Chain A
Amino acid sequence: DTGVSQDPRHKITKRGQNVTFRCDPISEHNRLYWYRQTLGQGPEFLTYFQNEAQLEKSRLLSDRFSAERPKGSFSTLEIQRTEQGDSAMYLCASSLGLPLGDEQFFGPGTRLTVL
């Protein structure tokens, strides 16, 4: 089992550009989560999926953000018209989901820098 993987690990972009991140969860994990972490802070929840269904979205997730999990396996997070305030570490996590297990396992993250 290879754990949660994320791609790319680093992304530098100019303000106004669109970016897309990918997350591959642990195989057989039904739930997939996206969080955002800024320097010196704890991660903040963005959204999560149960299989391909998006069950909850944070109010932090503006209209410029969209996430998908089309086949219930990998997920993508797209940010349109990036702003400097979007610079952060974007974390993906997965879990089996209750009642099997609610532990979330995190990937290494994608660090986004918006110039």
Chain B
Amino acid sequence: GDSVTQMEGPVTLSEEAFLTINCTYTATGYPSLFWYVQYPGEGLQLLLKATKADDKGSNKGFEATYRKETTSFHLEKGSVQVSDSAVYFCAPLYNQGGKLIFGQGTELSVKP
């Protein structure tokens, strides 16, 4: 069935370090791809999205590019801040706007 695999956490980085969180999905159909973020004690927030091959989603300094050939949607940020500490979820959306399939989440901890 449809699935997504995320890089295991926790990931611990120093402030201003470069961040990559890997995400790959099964290539059933042509899903839209999303990254959601969950800050401590808060609900899920949409971080960014991409809807077709080679699209780049970006928000708050985070970027991810839809790579159809490798079925990947890796999240990157050039310089992380302590305030980026959160759990990040990769989620493809299948069936033309139906259910999101979430990865297990990657916890990021940024130290000053």
Contact = CB atoms under 8 A, between A and B. Distances in A.
Interface of A: 31, 33, 35, 40-45, 48, 55-56, 58, 91, 93, 95, 97-98, 102-109
Given A31-B97, A42-B89, A43-B44, A103 B49 contact: yes
A48 B98 contact: yes
Nearest to A42: B102
Interface string B31-49: 0101010000011111001
17 contacts: A35-B102, A40-B104, A42-B103, A43-B44, A43-B89, A43-B102, A45-B99, A56-B95, A56-B99, A93-B44, A95-B97, A97-B97, A102-B32, A102-B51, A102-B93, A103-B34, A103-B49
Chain B interface bracket (under 10, 10 to 19, 20 to 34, 35 or more): 20 to 34
Interface of B: 32, 34, 36, 42-46, 49, 51, 89, 91, 93, 95-105
A41 B100 contact: no
Nearest to A50: B97
Nearest to A107: B43
A1 B10 CA distance: 35
Given A41-B105, A42-B105, A102-B32, A109 B43 contact: yes
**Closest CB pairs A-B (n = 6):** A42-B102, A45-B99, A106-B44, A98-B97, A102-B97, A108-B43
